[in-house]
Structure 1
Amino acid sequence: MGQSGDMSETRPVVILQPAPQRTARIFGPASLAALRESFRVVDLEDVADPDRFDDVLPEAVAIIGQPDLPRERLLRAARLRAICNVEGNFFPNVDYATCAELGVYVLGCGPAYAQAVAEHSLGLAIDLARGISREDRAFRTGSERYVADGNADAILLRGADIGLIGFGNLGRALLPLLQAFAPTIRVFDPWLPDSVLREQGLEPGTLAEVLAASTFVFVLATVTAESEHLLGAAELDLLRPGSRLVLVSRAAVVDFDALLSRLAAGRFLAAVDVWPSEPMPPDSPFRDLDNLVFSGHRAGGIPAAFTRIGELVVDDLRQIAAGLPPVRMQVAARELVTRYRNRPVT
């Protein structure tokens, strides 16, 4: 059954089925050893037979992965305390209401990616401010400009008006990086009270207020039933001429047809890391835009972020085994989890 080591079998059973991740990607040697030291790990990573999973499920205290878990399956998992989703999204293949009823934590690995996404976001914003990749492209075609000739549209981050659309894991990781530039930061996040934002030195605002007042706008919101195409034509038209838009959360938050038309008209500049279709088609008109910085869904998926997932999993499973609540991963809030509309990252 994939048991490891020769320790007493009183160790709690953990099912390891991390698809679409691989164990070697998300667990460094130290965290994998720590997992196996504390738990009897039943490794089903390469086992496609659902009967094997169901045989082990009644003994498992935790599942690392997010296989299909309808109510009838969960009711057979008498000892289950946690489901550790290591893909990065909460999907509708789990009966979250039953998990809440049974006291099963559903945990997401989003916090593992936050620092990597924050640093990449800052890099994209600086690129948009100073035309770094644009002038590099020009150099490779022999059309580069020197000194002031290439700086006509350059702007500073320092003292800038910055808007954050969403203030979850990504916003909290990005905030200290931005504070070094002494900006004015406005935030739209309907899931947070204004007082929470003000305590962070931020100015809460409506979506329209944040868009209209900002030179740099970071789109950090997840996709929910309410936020799909949150930034449509009318909202994008509120952006200041020459402003900079950084999209690093989910593509579905933005209407890409409206974004294309505004970029093609030269209304503002944008850096985009998430796309409605990945890879983008070879004939995509976005490829012809000089005021666009392309990033191929690279913001969070770096080795340091992947191995961080394993560290968070081990910490929280040890917490739960000790009768304590998880503190490292993101707990799926029963009021919110069914509203997410994220799609798998391939």
Structure 2
Amino acid sequence: MTAPVILVDPLPRTLQQIMAPSVRTRLERLGRLVISEKRPMSDEEIEAVLPYTVAILGQTAMSRERLERAPNLKAIINVETNFLPNLDYAACQARGIWVLTPASAFAAPVAEATLGLALDLARGISAADRAFRAGKETYGLEANADTLRFEGAPVGIIGFGDLGRKFRELIRPFRNEVRVFDPWLPAETIERLDCRQSDLDTLLEHSRFVVVFAAPTTENAHFIGAPQFARMKKGSAFLLMSRAGVVDFPAMLAAAASGHLRVATDVFPVEPVPADDPIRHTPNMLFSAHRTGGTADALLEIGSMAIADLELILRGLPPQLCRRADAATAARLRSPPVSKT
């Protein structure tokens, strides 16, 4: 009898990145590992082990036809943390195959970095540092002529998944009124976390800090553009923390360059950003090089969550830690190509 196979096709991750040695040992106890980390696994390699495969860790393409050749498959865990369009989610659902992502591993570090960027936009911390180094600093009240207080300021959160909810919990001591725009959630979910459900225009008009955590979908490309930025109060802060494709990026830069908004972004339409890109000289901008989530501990949490749930699944129990794909919602997600971050 052939031992059950766990197909490991994790690029751009590697097992060393996402698993502590003790977690790797737990994985090895679950079956025979077939691993491809230097390149995506070839079709020939995949087909050779499909009949014996009980789980996939990675972004391996799985059409309905390929799924039919994997009669023992019980779980697909996307350790890159996006639900990609290379998988037949409806067929997995019909077969009872769990499709999971440990994306919430990034929630805490992203929320923490978002708070740091918001405080910087509010108080001009990095700008004051640059002025001091250039010998152009000012002191006292003069140095705070254009600053905001984050404490007590109205906050708007666009997209209230794992990242948005973690950020909401993190800012509780600041006593902000928090509005949320997320058309995928009922008011009850939002109100249970002491937030107010809001339409987009009302959120933009009333919030001094607007944070975007919205995932890209087939319906929201560039849904925040010049008309939306114009609704925000002059001098307000706008933070883009999810994906560049959900905003009209040139319009966002224009809102910063004109002095209408102060803007922070962790994501860009093209990454890495070319060295000569004029975006680098846009005033009223705070830049982060798509780095807020990718901390070493968050990456190790990916592996820990994945293996804990896989252990449950192979015992015939439901997963408890990873987010589950739903065929109806996964079809509307518009994840970008796999990145190296």
Provide the residue aligned with 2:62 in structure 1.
69
Deviation at 1:327, TM superposition (A): 1.3
Q: What CA distance in whole angstroms lies between the structure 2 residues aligned with 1:139 and 1:130?
A: 15
- The one-letter code sitting in structure 2 at the alignment partner of 1:187 is V
Asked if 1:16 corresponds to 2:8, the answer is yes
Provide the residue aligned with 1:131 in structure 2.
124
Deviation at 1:17, TM superposition (A): 1.4
User: CA 1:312/1:81 → structure 2, altered by over 3 Å: closer, same or farther?
Assistant: same
Question: How many residues were matched structurally?
Answer: 338
- 1:44 corresponds, among 36, 42, 58, to 36
CA contact (8 A) 1:185 1:203 kept: yes
**1:111-150 equivalences in 2 (<5 Å):** 111-150=104-143
Q: In structure 2, the residue corresponding to 1:180 is in which secondary structure?
A: helix
- The one-letter code sitting in structure 1 at the alignment partner of 2:232 is L
Deviation at 1:137, TM superposition (A): 1.8
- The one-letter code sitting in structure 1 at the alignment partner of 2:281 is D
- 2:151 corresponds, among 138, 158, 176, to 158
- The one-letter code sitting in structure 1 at the alignment partner of 2:8 is L
Q: What CA distance in whole angstroms lies between the structure 2 residues aligned with 1:135 and 1:46?
A: 44
- The one-letter code sitting in structure 2 at the alignment partner of 1:278 is E
Q: What CA distance in whole angstroms lies between the structure 1 residues aligned with 2:67 and 2:278?
A: 47
Could you give the per-residue CA deviations for residues 98-127 of structure 1, whole angstroms, max 9, x where no partner exists?
111211111112111111111010100011
CA contact (8 A) 1:44 1:53 kept: no
After superposition, the CA RMSD in angstroms is 1.5
- 1:259 corresponds, among 252, 255, 273, to 252
CA contact (8 A) 2:259 2:284 kept: yes
**1:1-346 equivalences in 2 (<5 Å):** 12-46=4-38, 48-343=41-336, 344-346=338-340
CA contact (8 A) 1:11 1:38 kept: no
Q: What CA distance in whole angstroms lies between the structure 2 residues aligned with 1:215 and 1:314?
A: 41
Q: What CA distance in whole angstroms lies between the structure 2 residues aligned with 1:46 and 1:166?
A: 35
Unmatched 5+ stretches in structure 1? 1-8
Identity value in percent: 43
CA contact (8 A) 1:14 1:61 kept: yes
Deviation at 1:46, TM superposition (A): 4.0
Please identify, of 26-35 and 279-288, the stretch whose mean Cα deviation from structure 2 is larger: 279-288
- The one-letter code sitting in structure 1 at the alignment partner of 2:92 is C
CA contact (8 A) 1:134 1:290 kept: no
Q: What CA distance in whole angstroms lies between the structure 1 residues aligned with 2:302 and 2:240?
A: 23
Normalised TM-score (structure 1): 0.94
Normalised TM-score (structure 2): 0.95
